[in-house]
Amino acid sequence: MTNGEPGASYHQLINPQRPVSVGAQRVHGYSWEMLKSQPRFVDIADDFLNFVEGATLVIHNARFDIGFLNAELAIVNRGCMADYCEGVIDTLSLARQKRPGKPASLDALCKAFNIDASGRTLHGALIDSMLLVQVYNSLTKLP
């Protein structure tokens, strides 16, 4: 994000190297058949790290995503996200600070800020990141 607008994006499906659970497929819409021909994390790690290097990441529920990414980076001996990123802004934490006691899911925040999330039928990183730009901008305008 630059000046409150979406910046460059990086989107890459990855082979999880194991079958996808029914629950995960229901949430994300990706089957093992769709993912098994995709590159493994080790194959794209350098491209991904070059993309995020020096950036401040805006992530909803950053603890989960950063933990997951750090685990993958450890497997490929690339350190951790803090070695590459300037920082992380967690919009879940920000929403809980700015709107105490109110729902803070991405869907709830889109609804609260009248952000059109009708294109979000599944939990997908690309659409979620586009919605998150709008949520973040709305949150930062709150006192």
Q: What would the pLDDT profile of 93-142 be if each residue is shown by its tens digit?
A: 999 999 999 999 999 999 999 999 998 887 788 889 999 999 999 999 99
Evaluate the CA torsion angle 76, 79, 83, 89 in order and state its sign: positive
Task: Answer yes or no: are the C-beta atoms of 51 and 19 closer than 8 Å.
Answer: no
Q: Which of 11, 28, 60, 123 is catalytic?
A: 123
Domains delineated in the chain? 22-141 (3.30.420.10)
- For the entire predicted model, the pTM comes to 0.88
Q: Is residue 3's pLDDT more than 60?
A: no
Locate the DSSP E strands across 40-125. Answer: 56-59, 87-90
Query: Beta-carbon neighbour count of residue 95 at 10 Å?
Result: 24
Per-residue pLDDT reduced to its tens digit, 59-98: 999 999 999 999 999 999 999 999 999 999 999 999 999 9
Asked if residue 1 has pLDDT above 60, the reply is: no
11 is catalytic: no
